[in-house]
Amino acid sequence: MCGRFVSSSAPDEIARYFGVDAIGEKVLEPNYNTAPSSDVYAIRERDDQRVLDALHWGLVPFWAKDLKIGNRMINARSETVAEKSSFKRAFAKRRCIIPVDGFYEWEKVAGRKHKQPWYIQRRDGDPFAFAGLWEVWRGPDRDGSAEIHSCTIITGAANDSMAEIHDRMPVMLPPDAWDTWLDPDAADIELLSRYLVAAPSELLVKHRVSPEVNNARNRGAHLIEPYEPDSPTLPLDSA
């Protein structure tokens, strides 16, 4: 799964890298520990423009009775995203890219009660283009008074590098997939599904980080600094 990530780049930097045409009004503060239910940047194609917006992380289907369902839908499995009722409508028409500077994953360690967090980023320092989906929810009365735009991150089986820590990882789109992925008129499910594969292991580098990242209230840049488990123990919260 993908449950925490780093979003520290300014919107204009993201726009340049991803060829964005327009930036939404909401600007997010740099966050080195972005957690579910936060607003996150997402790139969508709207009115033939590539737009960077801030969306609620945790997809809320149009048929949901309330927002709470989004807490269970921060990720969509690549193996079932085209068929599962919660995601198939968005997969067919509402795909997005979630720009991420790096992400965290937790490793089970024999003999230790708490898992060890790792930070994963691109070897070249560029941002990841996570494959995502988005939806619009207008509340139970459907009168448009509570319109929420939300998103989810697609995950798949881990590559060899990530498998050392966890058996799943976010789907990362290469630049030559961006146009098709964002195009709402691209309806070839078989073609779209070909993008839902693990990125090459050589794309990634990873290192252990402090257990401070377990607490979503901690959001500073120090969280991504390398950490040795034999360092003085810090207070732990469940990941």
Calculate Rg over the CA atoms of the chain: 18
Kindly state the average pLDDT of the residues 51-69: 93
The pLDDT mean for the chain works out to 93
The predicted pLDDT at position 141 comes to 57
| Average confidence (pLDDT) over 56-67 | 92
CA dist 118 and 106 (Å) reads 6
Per DSSP (E only), the strands in 84-223 are 95-100, 102-107, 116-122, 128-137, 148-157, 168-170, 204-208
The pTM (predicted TM-score) of the whole model is: 0.93
Predicted confidence (pLDDT) per residue in 127-174, tens digit:
999 999 999 998 765 555 578 999 999 999 999 999 999 999 999 999
The domain at 5-103+126-200 falls in which architecture?
Alpha-Beta Complex (3.90)
Contacts made by residues 186-191, CB under 8 angstroms, sequence distance 24+? 187/92, 189/82, 189/91, 189/92
Q: Supply 45's token pair.
A: 């194609």
| pLDDT band at residue 231 under the 50/70/90 scheme | very low
Spatial separation of the C-alpha atoms in residues 134 and 152, rounded to whole Å: 7
Joined tokens for residue 149: 């735009």
Q: Under a CB-based contact definition with an 8 Å cutoff, are residues 5 and 151 in contact?
A: no
How many CB atoms sit inside 10 A of residue 213's CB? Answer: 24
Catalytic annotation, residues: 2, 105
pLDDT in tens, 99-130: 999 999 999 988 888 899 999 999 999 999 99
Contact 190, 91 (CB under 8 A): no
- Strand 49-57 and strand 22-23: the pairing is parallel
CA distance 171 to 19: 20
